[in-house]
A and B are shown apart, each in its own frame.
Chain A
Amino acid sequence: MNKPTNQPVLEVENLVVRYGSFQAVKGVSFEVQPGEIFGLLGPNGAGKTSTLSAIEGLLKPNGGSIRISGHDTREQPLHARASMGVQLQSTSFQPELTISEIIRLFAGIHGIELSNERTAAILADIKLEDSASKRFGQLSGGQQQRVSLVIATIHQPPLVLMDEPTTGLDPQSRRQLWERIEAMRNKGHAILLTTHSMEEAESVCDRIAIIDHGQIITIDTPQAIIDDNRDKPEVIQASRKGRITLEDVFIGLTGTAIRS
C-alpha cells in the first residue's frame, strides 16, 4: 500500500505544442492533485485538445514536460500511460466485438484477467447487465459513456482524463455521469476534464483553468474565479440579468468573437 502523498498526479510544466509554424500551446503549466476534479475550459482553438492530446501521448510536445504519477511521458511513456485512464471525446471500438469482449480486451491490455463473473459484475455496476452481448454501436449515448468510463478506469488509474464527457447526453445521463465522476474523485482518483459547459465546470470541478490562445489565463476554484473577475468591465458587459456567472467571466476573459 502506498503512503499518502501530496505529490501531484499530473504535472504539466511549460508545455509547448506546435503545428508547423503555428504554436497551439505556449508554455502551459498546471498540476492536478489526487482526489481533485480539474476542469480545462477554453474556446474552440484555444489549445485544450492539443494540451490533452499531449498528456494522453497522442502527440509529441515540442517543449516542456509532462509527468503522470512521477513518470515522465517522454522517458517512460508506457508507465505514464499505465497511470492514466482516458475517455476520448469520440470513442470507438471494433464493431464486431461485444461489450464484454471490449472490457476484457482493455483489462487484458492492463494485465488484468477478468472472469465471466467479474465482467458481469462490472456491467451490473453500470446497469448494463443485459447488454453484455450487445455491440458498442447498439448502445445509447449515455450507455456508451458509462462503458467508456468503465474501460478507462478498469485498472484504477491515479489519473482519469475525460474529453467533453457529457457532450450529447440528456440531462439525466449527464447528472449520472457527474455522480460517477464525483464518486471517482471521492475514491482518490485525480480527474482532468475538458468541457464547454460552464454549468458542468461550476457543478463538478474543484478547480478550473481557462486557456485561450495557447496560454492559461487563470487557475482557481470556480467561485474564486467569479469573485476575482466580477468587477471587470468586460465581465459586467458580458453578464445577463445582472448576476455574474462563470460563463460571464469566461466570455469577458476570452471575448465574444466566434472561434472556428
Chain B
Amino acid sequence: MSSTITTTAPITQQSRPAYTLPSAKTVFSSLLKADLTAQWRNRRATIMVVLIPSIILISWKSVVAFKGGAFALSNCIAIGLNAIGLMGYTNAIARDRDKGIFQRLRVTPAPRWTIIASRLAVQLVMILITTVLLFVIGYQFDHITLKASSYALGFLTAIVGGAVYLSLGQMIVGLVKTPETVNVTTRLVFFLFIMIGQFASFGAFGPEITAIADWSPYGTTKNILAAAFTPGAWVNQTNMYLLACLGYTMIFTLFGIRYFTWSTK
C-alpha cells in the first residue's frame, strides 16, 4: 500500500525555524486549558463530588435550627473539600500516573512543577465552585444568611482547607503506588474523617475522641470555616486551628513531594 505523505514545508536540520523555549506561563496555560477540559468532560465524577455535601446540607434543616447555620455550612464545605482533595484529585493523579500520561509530559520542555500546578489549579476552581454552590443551597433551602465579610472569609478558609486535603491527597499518591490501592486508601480516609468528624461534632464519642477529632485535618478545617461564618467567633483558639491547617499542609506536601514518583514502572 503506498502512502502519500503530504509534507509540510520541508525542514532540514539546518533550516529549522528558530525555536525559543516557551515561558512557564505559556506551558502552564496550555496544560490548564487541557486539564479544565478534562475535568469538564468528567462531569459525572465532578457532580458526585459536589452532590454529596449538597444533599447533606439540604437534609440538615433540623441541624441548622439546632446547631446553627455556621455549623451546618462548615461541616458540609469540609466534606466537599474532603471529597475534592481525596477522591477527585488523588484518584485522577494515580490513574494518569499509571497510564503513563505524566511520562509523556515529562519528555517535553514543560517544567515539572507546571504539570502538577495545573492539576491543583483545576481543583482550586472546583473548591470555589463547590463553596459558592453550598452558599447558594444553604441560603435557598436552609435559609442560612451570612454577612458579606463572612462569605469572603469563608472563601479564604475554604481555600486553606482545600490545601490541607489536596496536600493529604498528594501524600497518599506519593506513598501509595497502584491506583487501586490509592482508591481504597482515599475512600477509607474519607470515610474515617467524615464519620469520626461528624459523630464527634455531636459529642457521640466522648470528650477525648472529640478533642482528637477537633485537631484532625477534618476538625481544624471545619473549625476555621465555622469561625469564618460566625461574626466574633474568630478567637485565639481559631488561630491555633489555622496554624494546625498550615502545619498539616506543610507536612503532607513535604511527604507528597519527597515520595512522589512520576511513573509506577
Contacts and interface: CB of A to CB of B under 8 A. Distances in A.
Interface of A: 1-5, 9, 34-35, 56-58, 78-79, 81-84, 86, 88, 90-97, 101-102, 104-111, 124-125, 155-156, 158, 172, 175-176, 179-180, 183, 187-190
B116 to A, nearest CB: 14
B14 interface: yes
A155 B1 contact: no
Nearest to B17: A156
8 contacts: A4-B14, A58-B262, A79-B21, A109-B108, A111-B23, A111-B27, A156-B19, A180-B5
Contacts of B1: 172, 175-176
A188 B14 contact: yes
Contact of B100 (A84, A90, A102): A90
Interface stretch (B31-39, B58-66, B145-153, B233-241): B31-39
A116 B79 CA distance: 41
B13 A110 contact: no
Interface of B: 1, 3, 5-8, 10-17, 19-23, 26-27, 29-31, 33-35, 37-38, 41-42, 96, 99-101, 103-111, 262-263
A35 B13 contact: yes
A65 B19 CA distance: 23
A245 B13 CA distance: 33
B6 A110 contact: no
A129 to B, nearest CB: 11
B40 to A, nearest CB: 8
Contacts of A172: 1
B108 A81 contact: yes
A79 B34 CA distance: 23
A88 B103 contact: yes
Contact of A56 (B3, B33, B107): B107
A88 B103 CA distance: 9
Q: Which of A88, A108, A172 has the most CB of B within 10 A?
A: A108
B37 A97 contact: yes
Given A179-B3, A188-B13, A81 B109 contact: yes
A109 B25 CA distance: 10
A176 to B, nearest CB: 5
